[in-house]
Each structure stands twice: as structure tokens, then as C-alpha cells.
Amino acid sequence: MNYRHIYHAGNFADVLKHAVLTRLIRYMQKKDGGFRVLDTHAGIGLYDLSSEEAQKTGEWLDGIGKLMEADLGPQVSELLEPYLSAIRELNPEGGIRFYPGSPKLARMLFRPQDRLSAMELHPEDYVRLHRLFEGDHHARITELDGWLALGAHLPPKEKRGIVLVDPPFEEEDEYQRLAEGLEKAYRRFPGGTYCLWYPLKKGAPIKEFHETLQALDIPKMLCAELAVRSDRGITGLTGSGLVIVNPPFTLKDELHQLLPALKDHLAQDRFASHRAFWLRGENKAVKDD
């Protein structure tokens, strides 16, 4: 309940998460039928990077601030265009003042038949999120512990959907809770595409987390990680990862394009790295750079 994403909005972890979320949405939209995005830890939806909180950390400067100015090349630019266009739309006068959280970004990319369910437990953040989407019949905003949504709100009535789970990781057992949440949700909605975010930092139980996921009865899980700096002498966030369950068949190749570019432009020291690999399913992996 203490976590406030405004301090971290637009940072390198958001860039990875939102770049991949955009690709998942665009893949879903290859079919005419509507789908639902379920965002379990939605935040306030839209962030003012000129606010005192965002300026205090300035994390966005090393994230979306760098990416918007980068020479990405034609292939990466095409993959990131829906994401970056949404940010430009929010900032018509140029620069980057407003940054979309996951629910706002998803909603900006929707067609008329697509829908959003967003959960937020923090009372003040819920009020702001609800106000942002007030009157929007494509969005359902609920004041709820996002972990409960993995049971109560699945499967969606559309029978197609993306489930984004981006917890604050304030508790030591969040990695285990993430795995347990996925297992519960998958039993209810095995055809869904799941995108699970997790932090990379010194001492984090990443190996154990991956092994726990590999032990689940889920056929296809793709993992993408981006570290922007070494964890030597640093206790905070050095990178982040995503586990994508039932990924689009195109995603592995897209990550092969995206991850090296994100590493090159967002690196904070020479130890920056990336990797993409199958936890379950296909055996071919994108190699570390």
C-alpha cells in the first residue's frame, strides 16, 4: 500500500513492459473479435512527469526520455511506433510531460470492440484512476486487490485476453506469490496471454522463481530480461524481466530486434545486458549480447 508508481513512471522497466504490452495488443488485434486487457495493479493510469514526485527521482530521464530521442532504425521503430505514438499524442506540444500507465496505454491502442478491466487497491490511486476513465464504457475500474482479480475476473466474457500482472514487490514473497497467482489464473483461463513483470536486483531469487514457473503445468512460457547496469554495490533495481505465457509466435523474433536496441539506448554502464529464452516450450533462445 506504500508503493506509488509516480516515482518510477517512464523508467527503463516501464519501457520494457510497455513495449512488450504494445506488441501483445497489436497481435491480438490481428483477429476481428474483441479481447480484454486485465490489469491487476493498475496505478493511476496517467503520470505527470513534471510533478514533484517524478522530478524527485528523475527515473524517466534514463528511460522514456532516452528512447524518445534515440535513432532506432527502421525495424525497431516500426515495432515501437504504436507505443511511442501514444506518448506523442499525450504531448502534442512536444517533449514528455505526460506518460501513460499500462491501462491508459492499452486503452489508447484499442479498437471499438476491445475492453479494459483495471484493478487498483490504493484508495487515492483508485480515485484518480476511476476519474481518468469516468464515462468510458470500454473500461471497468475496480477498487480491488489485484491478486483477487486473478480468480474473480477470469475468464473474461470475450474469451480472449491479456492479463498484465505488475505487482509492487514490497513483500519478500512476491516472486512466490506471482507464481502462485499465475497457476491459479491459468487453471481458470488457460487460453489467455499472461504478462508477468518482476524486478532484477542483487540477491533477488530469480533462479528459484524461474524453476518454480518451470514446474507448473503450463506448456509455453517465454522470458525477456533487460538489465541496464551492474548490481555490484547497488541495492536497488538494476533491471527487470517479463514472463509471457502463451506468447504470440511472432514475439520471440520481435524481442530479438527490441532487446538489443533497448540495451544499447538505455544502458547505464558497460555491464548492461539482455536475454530472452523459453522457460517452457520452444528450446531456441535469443542469446545474451
Q: What is the pLDDT of residue 235?
A: 80
The residue that leads in pLDDT, 56 or 220, is 220
Question: What is the band of 3 on the pLDDT scale with cuts at 50, 70, 90?
Answer: low
Span 128-142, mean pLDDT?
Answer: 97
On whether 120 is known to bind a ligand per the annotation, the reply is: yes
Q: What is the pLDDT of residue 288?
A: 45
Output the pTM of the full model.
0.95
Average pLDDT, the chain: 93
Instruction: Look at residue 289 and tell me whether its pLDDT is greater than 50.
Output: no
166 is catalytic: yes
Span 8-30, mean pLDDT?
Answer: 97
Query: Exposed, middle or buried by CB within 10 Å (0-12, 13-18, 19+), for 136?
Result: exposed
Q: Which of 62, 114, 125, 166 is catalytic?
A: 166
- pLDDT digit string, tens, across residues 249-287: 999 999 999 999 999 999 999 999 999 999 999 764 444
On whether 146 is known to bind a ligand per the annotation, the reply is: yes
On whether 73 is known to bind a ligand per the annotation, the reply is: no
On whether 256 is known to bind a ligand per the annotation, the reply is: no
